[in-house]
Amino acid sequence: MSGLLRIQLRPQASGLLRASESGRASFAHVAKAVASIGELSGARMCNIAKKNLGPRRRFDYFSRGIATKKEVTLTSEMYPETKRNPAFKKITTDDIDFFKKALGDKQVITDVEELEKYNVDWMAKYRGQSRVALRPKTVQEVSKVVKYCNENMIAIVPQGGNTGLVGGSVPVFDEVVISVANMNKVRSFDETSGILKLDAGVIMEDADNFLAKKGHIFPLDLGAKGSCFVGGNVATNAGGVRLLRYGSLHGSVLGLEAVLPDGTIYDSMHSLRKDNTGYDLKQLFIGSEGTLGIITGISILCPGRPKFSNVAFLGLDSYEKVQQTFKAARSELCEVLSAFEFMDRRSEVFSSRLLGRAHPLAGEDVDVDSLKGNYAASVPEYPFYVLIEVAGSSKEHDDEKLESFLENVMESGEVSDGTVSQDEAQMAELWEWRESISMAAKIDGGVYKYDVSLPQSKIYDLVNTVREHLTEKDLLSATDKSKPIVDVIGYGHIGDGNLHLNVCVREYSKVVEEALEPYVYEQVQKYHGSISAEHGLGFQKKHAIQYTKNPVELHLIRDMKKHFDPKGIMNPYKYV
Ligand code: FAD
Ligand code: MLT
Ligand code: ZN
């Protein structure tokens, strides 16, 4: 990536700070060298070639799918052991007439082509057979149709931006999809308290853009921000890349509005920071994945927006060094640390294939033309990469902190190579080398995703163990197309103890799935980890909840579901 400030190692004796765009080769062999990210202010005066990069949102995760939605196998065929509950009513023309009367003709989707986007998930792994999707505009309309469904034993799938990664957002059989896409207004914002009240169908990035104008930030950020809805975020208790800084939605969501399975409107949209009267019911909906009701409104606390941010992208020689670097970042960058993400080299190889450009740490000796499109060859041999974001209110102070941190980690040998962004476009580009992994992982046909919490020291062991396991089973080859698996990659939110283990396949198949499950879950259980750190249970992990929750917990969860939804109409075949 030309134009990025390259971190340079230079002999200790001289001043540490020097801007450089020189390649890794020029310093990698300097013994006892000292890290330098350059005199940052001076560096920014360099003549940096600005690239025509769009903001993060423009990375269109949906247009680069590998399979057309029609090619996706029906969930009911892929998983014939899951049977349709015969107690659920099949939709009739009378039902459609009722929905049209309640919502207006245009908000009742029955066209087969149009229904595809409601039936097929983002991974192109699950495909339902819903014959109708509803798009109510108000909470009263949601209530009306949900009440009708409950009375008539019609199963429902609540849907947001349909970016979920566990098959929770699409029907398994012919459940009615209720999308909150038409409920997409900001209701109010209090500039003093930072409390935002909004409809569940607001796209997360739109919420953040609204807040940016007010000097605030949405306390959550993730790769699907341009497509996912805030209601979906709350329903999945999404974590994302800034949880490290802003904490979980269990802390920032102050209130909710939701339609319960019998049509009752539950409203706790108040904006109280403190309220110790009775059970904190809203918490139940956070992470309930559409099984307790349809979230229609959210009240959320939004912190002040940092004025400056910067991103460093580093190459490291071992997973131990990743951990050491995280420890150092937490203690040295402290209050300005806003993200610490890690990815293995294999993940970066996938990203390079998707993005179609040379890696940010490719040496200057790499001649992009000679790669002839083989951008994977530009990814340096470091087994691990780390993206660090700092954000604060004083540029000089933040830069100084980042600079001193980078000096220390390079001096101590924890970090071997790196680059620092010099403007927003470069920041966005560096982020792409992390966030594009989700999409890139399915570039060869599909991806089995495992999103686990583990003790930090054990995180990468799981990737190696699973790779060995699949190799022993003779299922894996990067080049032999007769093998179903292309590679096993690992990346994630290391600061949160959250690994994304992705098994990249040429196609979805039972052979691979049976090799992976319950094997992966057993490995996670061994370390008392969680089989779902952030994506949820959905359809994929419904049967595996017991690897993380004990029988008492399971009993209470099932009781809770029965209490809220005795007929079981809300997102059946998922979660519990
Ligand atoms: P959907 O996919 O539509 O639904 C997800 C679940 O919530 C379903 O069970 C659905 O029934 C339920 N649901 C949706 N809306 C409602 C509602 N209004 N009321 C009740 N239930 C509802 N997740 C993370 O945690 N961290 C990440 O870093 C992250 N990065 C991602 C990056 C990419 C590229 C993609 C594709 C996904 C990523 N995800 C991540 C997955 C994540 O779950 C979603 O992106 C997001 O939170 C889901 O929102 P959505 O509106 O798309 O919900
Ligand atoms: C991420 O952190 O990139 C997301 O959780 C999505 C994924 O795992 O691909
Ligand atoms: Zn994640």
Express each pLDDT in 100-122 by its tens digit. 999 999 999 999 999 999 999 99
Q: Ligand 2 centroid vs 49 CA: distance in angstroms?
A: 30
Q: Ligand 1 centroid vs 547 CA: distance in angstroms?
A: 22
The predicted pLDDT at position 56 comes to: 40
pLDDT band for position 373 (cuts 50, 70, 90): confident
Entry pTM: 0.92
Residue of 491, 498, 501, 504 to mutate, ligand 2, most atoms within 8 A of C-beta: 491
For tokens 């046909």, the residue is 445
Q: Ligand 3 centroid vs 40 CA: distance in angstroms?
A: 31
For residue 157, give the 3-state DSSP assignment.
strand
Find, among 328, 320, 316, the residue nearest to 460 by Cα. 320
Q: Is the pLDDT of residue 237 over 50?
A: yes
Is CATH 1.10.1040.10 the classification given to domain 186-301?
A: no
Atom 46 of ligand 1: nearest residue by CA position: 233
> Residue ranges per domain, the chain?
5-45+309-438, 75-179, 186-301, 444-564
Between CA 359 and CA 346 the distance in angstroms is 12
The predicted pLDDT at position 64 comes to: 39
Q: Ligand 3 centroid vs 110 CA: distance in angstroms?
A: 34
Is CATH 3.40.50.1820 the classification given to domain 75-179?
A: no
The predicted pLDDT at position 463 comes to: 98
Mean pLDDT (whole number) for 61-88: 78
- The yes-or-no answer to whether 186-301 and 444-564 have a common fold is no
CATH number, domain 5-45+309-438: 3.30.70.2190
Q: Phi and psi of 310, rounded to 5°? A: -150, 155
- Residue 160 CA: nearest ligand 1 atom is 3
The predicted pLDDT at position 372 comes to: 85
Q: Is the pLDDT of residue 9 over 50?
A: no
pLDDT higher for 54 or 356? 356
Residue of 159, 436, 491, 575 to mutate, ligand 1, most atoms within 8 A of C-beta: 159
Q: Does residue 242 line the site of ligand 2, with CB under 6 A? A: no
The predicted pLDDT at position 486 comes to: 98
Mean pLDDT (whole number) for 375-379: 95
- pLDDT tens digit sequence for 455-486: 999 999 999 999 999 999 999 999 999 999 99
pLDDT higher for 396 or 11? 396
pLDDT band for position 366 (cuts 50, 70, 90): confident
* Residue 416: both structure tokens together: 């071997």
Q: Ligand 2 centroid vs 531 CA: distance in angstroms?
A: 14
Least confident window among 45-54, 231-240, 279-288: 45-54
pLDDT band for position 70 (cuts 50, 70, 90): low
Between CA 300 and CA 271 the distance in angstroms is 8
pLDDT band for position 35 (cuts 50, 70, 90): very low
pLDDT band for position 15 (cuts 50, 70, 90): very low
Q: Is the pLDDT of residue 12 over 90?
A: no
Between CA 568 and CA 83 the distance in angstroms is 15
Atom 8 of ligand 2: nearest residue by CA position: 500
Q: Does residue 200 line the site of ligand 1, with CB under 6 A? A: yes
Strand 265-267 to 294-301 pairing = unpaired
Q: Is the pLDDT of residue 75 over 50?
A: yes
Least confident window among 34-43, 429-438, 443-452, 539-548: 34-43
The predicted pLDDT at position 33 comes to: 29
Question: Rounded to 5, what percent of the chain is helix, strand, coil?
Answer: 35, 20, 45
Judged by its nearest atom, the ligand closest to the C-alpha of residue 501 is 2
Between CA 522 and CA 35 the distance in angstroms is 42
pLDDT band for position 543 (cuts 50, 70, 90): very high
pLDDT band for position 139 (cuts 50, 70, 90): very high
Q: Does residue 164 line the site of ligand 1, with CB under 6 A? A: yes
The whole-angstrom distance between residue 355's C-alpha and the CA centroid of its chain comes to 18
Q: Which CATH number, 1.20.1640.10, 3.30.70.2740, 3.65.10.10, 3.30.379.10, labels domain 444-564?
A: 3.30.70.2740
Judged by its nearest atom, the ligand closest to the C-alpha of residue 256 is 1
The predicted pLDDT at position 4 comes to: 65
Q: Does residue 233 line the site of ligand 2, with CB under 6 A? A: no
Between CA 151 and CA 170 the distance in angstroms is 22
* Phi-psi label, residue 334: left if phi above 0, alpha if psi -120 to 50, beta otherwise: left
